[in-house]
Chains A and B, each alone.
Chain A
Amino acid sequence: MKLVGVLCVLAGWAVAVAGLFLSSANAVRLLIACAGIGISLYGSLGLLNGYFLERAIWKR
């Protein structure tokens, strides 16, 4: 799960950067960048943090 989380974080970055090549319209690039940020945050705060919360010390 940790690896999936890291890949998701990286995928968000890749999406944001790919937007530069996918369109020359600023509005589209802006939206793609926002989507990329969202994906990365899901990867870090959702997947990765979820993994650690499941094994949290206070749950034992």
Chain B
Amino acid sequence: METITHREDGMRSQQKITRLLLFALGVAGVLGAASPLRAEQIQGADAVLSGVPSPKSDDIAAKGDPGAEQTGTINDVTVADSKKGLTLADVANQAGQNKIAINFVWTLVAGFLVMFMQAGFALVETGLIRAKNANHTMMMNFMVYGLGLFAYWVCGFAIQMGGAAPIANLGGVYPLNHEFVTNLFGKPWGLFGTKGFFLHGATYDVGVMVLFLFQMVFMDTTTTIVTGSCAERWKYSAFAVSTIFLGALTYPLFGNWAWGGGWLSQLGANFGLGHGYCDFAGSGVVHAVGGLTAMAVAMQLGPRIGKYNRDGRPNVIPGHDLTYVLLGCFILAFGWFGFNPGSTLGASGNGCLRIGSIAVNTMLAGCTGSFAALLYMWIRYGKPDASMAGNGLLAGLVAITAPSGFVNTLSACIIGWVAGILVCLGVEFFDRVAKIDDPVGAMSVHGLNGLWGVLSVGLFADGRSNYGGSWNGVSGSVTGLFYGDAGQLTAQLIGIATLVGGIFALSFVFNWLVDVVVGQRVSAKVELAGLDIPEMGALCYPDFQLKASDYGAASSGGVSVAASAKH
């Protein structure tokens, strides 16, 4: 009987606490991030919550808490004034901080996953090139991290996100509050941010730091795309300069227009085109920018010696380690769970619970992309090609990146399936028609499918997502053509025009200058010997015996060494 009474008391106490916490959470929800100033405005906020029962520390000390019933209770709420005791304002503040803490941790962990994608890119690209260039390719992938981060810290982040505030999920990031805006035909056009250079001054802020880390690893992904397409012939010095420019200006500029409050994101508010340009996690911002920059540089570099015969027919130059390639693809697929679901910038509030749907969409599109590519190659060439199956997986993931937050699972499968076919067609097109040599297929995987991802938002967005009731300042949910909003498709097309026009041109012109000043391509002698010793000073596999044919595709490629040396 005594036990039953004790249990009932306990239940009543729990109900009381639950009611109090629900009330506090409601207050915090209404006020957004509960700041102390706002908490003071709560009626009775200074009411002392002395009547709330709490577990006794002596009991826990004696018995422990194996059932987790007494750990994480009202005792753990931070009290502002110990003399006054626990108040309602304390509970409300704690609720607000918990929401932001959940979002910080989620965003940071997602960022760490994206950072690990660098390892995946390094393995995929190195596996797809010849052993004699492995050190050079690995070191390009390694150094995009350092070079890109530095450039992004100096000015890239400020240009991209300097006017992005407020971002409610990260507590507002209010110091990032200035966008350079010009007026064109009576409409405001946000061009670039101006706060956050070197992360100094007011941007020395916890929310800004979380945002910086997450955005930085995205930028890093963009820079690493280029290294694959330009592998086996790109001067290391030219690569370094080109990477710094990409991280400091090209990527941040488009990132601002799409994510930092710039003009593309405002196409909805200013011109009534749906919700403006929508790119949930960066099919356009990250992958298309990287893929198009890769195309601009690869075009200028020209094909590797031996890639094409005199009659223009392409030769296959196989990579040296398929295990690297497929392991890298798995690492990338794993990292993508940070890339897409992490782009909610939170797991609590403003519709962030949609992270489950985003993760499933990511998974489905990757799988269908891989399957479609495998099937295409099997039917067309008679064998299930491993590297193209890997590229199909990546293509599906790239394509779902922009729409992942706005579409249902069926659409994700269709998007992934189309991406898997597109990547195969793209590789064939660049190889045989355009004759732009791309050792890893990055232009097809990231460029072509990045654009497809952007377009698919305008087609498949189902109008069921709700991230705080609006997107890009337009109320309601993002809805594509198939669900009734043709304006969204137009906004996406203008985004694509900006990518293939503005961003490609910017990348091309800058790398043209690099070619004039530094020189983009290594000499034919260096290329035939392999870039590891001449460029890097060390072989990747010094204890391995390389076959004579590894030292130059000249014999199989039909281009004489003498002719190549003239280049």
Contacts and interface: CB of A to CB of B under 8 A. Distances in A.
B494 A26 contact: no
Contacts of B312: 58
A58 B309 contact: yes
A27 B486 contact: yes
Contacts of B493: 16, 30, 33-34, 37
B508 A6 contact: yes
Given A48-B299, A53-B435, A16 B310 contact: no
Contacts of B119: none
Contacts of B350: none
Contacts of B303: 56-58
B185 interface: yes
Contacts of B487: 26
Contacts of B310: 58-59
Contact of B500 (A2, A24, A44): A44
B435 A44 contact: no
Interface string B256-283: 0000000000010001110000000000
A35 B501 CA distance: 12
Contacts of A37: 493, 496-497, 500-501
Contacts of A36: 497, 501
A60 B497 contact: no
Interface stretch (B104-112, B236-244, B559-567): B559-567
A44 to B, nearest CB: 6
Contact of B509 (A6, A12, A16, A49): A6
B302 A33 contact: no
B514 interface: no
B121 interface: no
Contacts of B557: 58
Nearest to A53: B435
B299 A49 contact: yes
B305 interface: yes
Contact of A57 (B436, B501, B504, B567): B567
A9 B490 CA distance: 19
Given A40-B500, A52-B302, A9 B494 contact: no
A4 B295 CA distance: 18
Nearest to A58: B308
Contact of A16 (B434, B436, B497, B566): B497
B434 A33 contact: no
A60 B501 contact: no
Nearest to A34: B493
B35 interface: no
Contact of B308 (A19, A34, A52, A56): A56
A56 B566 contact: no
Find the residue from A27, A34, A48 having the highest chain B CB count within 10 A: A48
Interface in A3-29: 6, 9-17, 19-21, 24, 26-27, 29
B490 A58 contact: no
A13 B273 CA distance: 17
Given A30-B493, A57-B303, A60-B567, A6 B505 contact: yes
A49 to B, nearest CB: 6
Contacts of B307: 58
B249 interface: no
B151 interface: no
B563 A60 contact: yes
A53 B307 CA distance: 13
B225 interface: no
B536 to A, nearest CB: 23
B273 A40 contact: no
A26 B486 contact: yes
A38 to B, nearest CB: 9
B490 A26 contact: yes
Nearest to A39: B501
Find the residue from B267, B272, B502 having the highest chain A CB count within 10 A: B502
Contacts of A52: 299-300, 302
B505 A9 contact: yes
Nearest to B308: A58
B556 interface: no
Contacts of B86: none
Interface string B56-98: 0000000000000000000000000000000000000000000
Contacts of B436: 49
Nearest to B433: A45
Contacts of B334: none
A29 B501 contact: no
A40 B504 contact: yes
Nearest to A52: B299
Contacts of A2: 512
Find the residue from A2, A10, A33 having the highest chain B CB count within 10 A: A33
Contacts of B501: 9-14, 16, 36-37, 39-40
B329 to A, nearest CB: 28
Interface string B298-323: 01101101011110100000000000
A60 B500 contact: no
Contacts of A39: 501
A21 B187 CA distance: 10
A28 to B, nearest CB: 10
Given A9-B505, A27-B486, A49-B436, A16 B498 contact: yes
Given A16-B498, A16-B501, A24-B272, 5 more contacts: A9-B505, A13-B500, A19-B494, A48-B299, A56-B308
